[in-house]
Structure 1
Amino acid sequence: MDKVIIANNLSLAYSNDDTIINKVNFSVDTGSFIFITGASGSGKSTLLKSLYGALKPIEGSLVVGGVELKSVSKKKLNFLRKHLGIVFQDYKLVKEWTIEKNIMLPLIINGYEKSVTQNQVDSLLKHVRLQHQAGKYPQELSGGEQQRVAMARALAHNPTVILADEPTGNLDDYSSQLIWNLLEGANEQLETTVIVVTHHIPETMKVEYKHYHIESGDIREVI
């Protein structure tokens, strides 16, 4: 099976004196579902940031979607990000834009035609049960609703890889289950690679998944 992510002797830090991830080796198969767990401050979010190029390796190699991220050009990084869907803990929705326009963002960036964009957004609004909120702004929605918008935005352009940082951390049960259903659906139906950083793996998961745990700068698969 093809590898969508390959890390060799990967070290990550925000300064050279404070190594958070230390010389780890791992790979992710294309189309797999991965959970990454670890205590607060263990480096889960740090690792996720490195996967979309927000933090460059200080040592070793990190290849995502065929792109080496240690010495990546801005052009190549922008190309890679067009194939990624990212779900942040704090949603990162554009406050001045409606819910509908927020979901459109990756489609606009990727140059989709207007009719295709509208059809995709309408479909996603139904999936996240927010079609009645399309014209509202993020601050008019609850936290759970905002995260559902963020998930729809991450899925809009049919990404190769979805990276989700605590996507259900502070959500009610209804919104949480919707998020997990969407991630499972993307993985099963579209063969999207899904990587989720979380404190807790839900017991209701229906897809096969791998579980990696970060501790003391190391990352190991939990069998």
Structure 2
Amino acid sequence: MDKVIVAEDLTLSYNKNETIINQASFSIESGSFTFITGASGSGKSTLLKSLYGALKPAQGSLIVGGAQINNISSKKLNFLRQHIGIVFQDYKLVKEWTIEKNVMLPLIIGGYEKSVSEQQVHKLLNHVKLNHQSGKYPLELSGGEQQRVAMARALSHNPILILADEPTGNLDEYSSELIWNLLEGANTQLKTTIIVVTHHIPETMKIDYKHLHIEYGTIYEVT
């Protein structure tokens, strides 16, 4: 199976005095579902940042989607990000844009035709049970609804990889279940590679998954 991510002796830090991830080596197969766990402050979000190029390795090697992150150019990084869907803890929705336009953002960046974009957005908002809210703005929605919008946006351009940072951390049970069903569906039906940072792996997971745990800067696989 092809590997979408390969890390070798990966070291991540924000300054020379503090190492967050220390000489980690791991790989993630294309089409797989991976959970990353660890205590608060263990480096889960830091690792996720490195996977979309927001933090370059201090040492070692990191390859994502065939691109070497260590010395990736801005142009190549932008191209890579067009094939990644990201779900942030704080949603990062554009407050001045409607829900429909927020979900459409990756399609606008990708240069899709308007009719294609509208059709895709309608389908995804239907999936997250928010079609009736398409003309509203983010601040008019609850936190759970905003996260469902963020999830729809991450899926809108059919990415090869989805990175989700605590996607259900502060959500009600209904929204959490919708998010997990969407992630499972993207993985099983579209063969999208999914990586989720979380404190707790849901007991309801019906699919096989890989589990990477971070402790004191070390990443190891839980079997």
CA–CA separation in structure 2 for the residues paired with 1:209 and 1:65: 19
Residue correspondence of structure 1 range 126-205 to structure 2 within 5 A: 126-205=126-205
Q: CA deviation at 1:167?
A: 0.1
CA–CA separation in structure 2 for the residues paired with 1:12 and 1:187: 28
- What's the TM-score, normalizing by structure 2? 1.00
Secondary structure of the residue aligned to 1:28 is: strand
Tell me the residue number matched to 1:22.
22
CA offsets 1:165-211 (integer angstroms, 9 cap, x no match): 00000000000000000000000000000000000000001111011
CA–CA separation in structure 2 for the residues paired with 1:27 and 1:7: 6
CA–CA separation in structure 1 for the residues paired with 2:83 and 2:131: 25
How many aligned residue pairs are there? 223
Percentage of identical aligned residues: 75
Tell me the residue number matched to 2:220.
220
Q: CA deviation at 1:16?
A: 1.2
Secondary structure of the residue aligned to 1:26 is: strand
Tell me the residue number matched to 1:45.
45
CA–CA separation in structure 2 for the residues paired with 1:208 and 1:136: 37
Secondary structure of the residue aligned to 2:208 is: coil
Counterpart amino acid of residue 102 in structure 1: N
**Superposition misfits of 4+ residues, deviation over 6 angstroms:** none
Q: CA deviation at 1:92?
A: 0.1
Tell me the residue number matched to 1:4.
4
Residue correspondence of structure 1 range 17-166 to structure 2 within 5 A: 17-166=17-166
CA offsets 1:79-134 (integer angstroms, 9 cap, x no match): 10000000000000000000000000000111111111000000001000000100
- What's the TM-score, normalizing by structure 1? 1.00
Tell me the residue number matched to 1:210.
210
CA–CA separation in structure 1 for the residues paired with 2:125 and 2:83: 21
Secondary structure of the residue aligned to 1:199 is: coil
Which structure 1 residue ranges, 5 or more long, are not aligned? none
